């Protein structure tokens, strides 16, 4: 009932849920094995915050959306500079782009 064929593959939601449950059970089992090394009152109890100091007051422990994926956008800064320049917000640019694509497609259509 929950299975479909894609032509070159197979997807069964029932089997997937079964395997996911199995994987979850294995994860819980392996995690329970690791708890034997847990030592109360040592540095193992401290939060790890990607190398950054953890604030004393938990309410200050935030990761603002503006900082998320900073490295990703920094690495692609040239691509993003182009994208931001492209998205001017000016209405005449919106209309010009639409007209440009229409014209391009019109020329291509006349050529075939």
**φ and ψ at 44, to 5 degrees?**
-65, -20
Q: Which span sits near other proteins by CB under 8 A: 21-29, 36-44, 45-53, 69-77?
A: 69-77
Q: Tell how far CA 97 is from the center of its chain.
A: 30
The Cα 73–Cα 75 span in angstroms is 5
Q: Which of 1, 28, 33, 50 contacts other proteins by CB under 8 A? A: 1
- The residue to which tokens 């540095």 are assigned: 43
73 is a contact residue toward other proteins (CB under 8 A): yes
The Cα 96–Cα 27 span in angstroms is 55
Residues contributing to the site for other proteins (CB under 8 A): 1-4, 6-9, 11, 13, 16-17, 20, 58-59, 61-66, 68-69, 72-73, 76, 79-80, 83, 86-87, 89, 91, 93-95, 97-99, 101-102, 105-106, 108-110, 112
């Amino acid at each position: 009932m929950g299975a479909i064929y894609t032509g070159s593959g197979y997807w069964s939601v029932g089997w997937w849920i079964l395997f996911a449950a199995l994987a979850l059970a294995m994860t819980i089992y392996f995690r329970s094995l690791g708890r034997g090394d847990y030592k109360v009152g040592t540095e193992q109890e401290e939060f790890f915050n990607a190398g950054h100091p953890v604030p004393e007051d938990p309410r200050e422990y935030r990761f603002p959306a503006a900082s998320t994926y900073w490295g990703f956008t920094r690495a692609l800064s040239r691509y993003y500079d182009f994208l931001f320049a492209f998205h001017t917000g000016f209405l005449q640019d919106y209309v010009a782009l639409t007209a440009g694509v229409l014209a391009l497609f019109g020329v291509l259509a006349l050529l075939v």
